[in-house]
Amino acid sequence: MVCSALAISSERIEPRPQFSGGLPRISSSTGKSYYAKAGSSREREQYVGEAESLKAMASAAPGLVPSLLAFGIVDEDREELEGTEGCPFFISEYKGITSLTENSGAISGRRLATKMHKI
């Protein structure tokens, strides 16, 4: 389903891409990588909350968190919907983050918290 969602959303992401790979990391023919996931209809609220949270964090701390590129709901025929029925999908930048030291994790956490409290 995510590949179908990517096809639906591809023009919003980049022109004429071809995607490969598997969840959660999808690669495009341009060499860019994306984080993508898809859920069931009963997970819709969770996906909406995650998408809204990611948008808020990216707005507060650009570059620190991945940008949300596409979010939507698709039906069984993989047509994008605007209503509440259907299955959610989510596509964002892929950040190749390695393990953080305790100190660098604390610094990143403080930076994000400081920026979030300013909005």
Q: Which residues form the domain of 82?
A: 2-116
CA dist 77 and 32 (Å) reads 27
pLDDT in tens, 75-107: 776 666 666 678 888 899 998 878 878 888 888
What is the domain count for the chain? 1
Q: Which helix (H) or strand (E) holds 37?
A: strand 33-38
pLDDT in tens, 45-78: 999 999 999 998 888 888 888 999 988 888 776 6
Chain centroid to CA 24: 10
CATH no. for residue 76? 3.30.200.20
- Write the DSSP symbol of residue 8: H
What distance, in Å, lies between the first and last C-alpha atoms of the chain? 35
CA dist 42 and 83 (Å) reads 14
pTM of the model as a whole: 0.73
8, 54, 104 from 110: Cα distances, Å: 37, 17, 10
Considering just the CA atoms, what is the radius of gyration of the chain in Å?
16
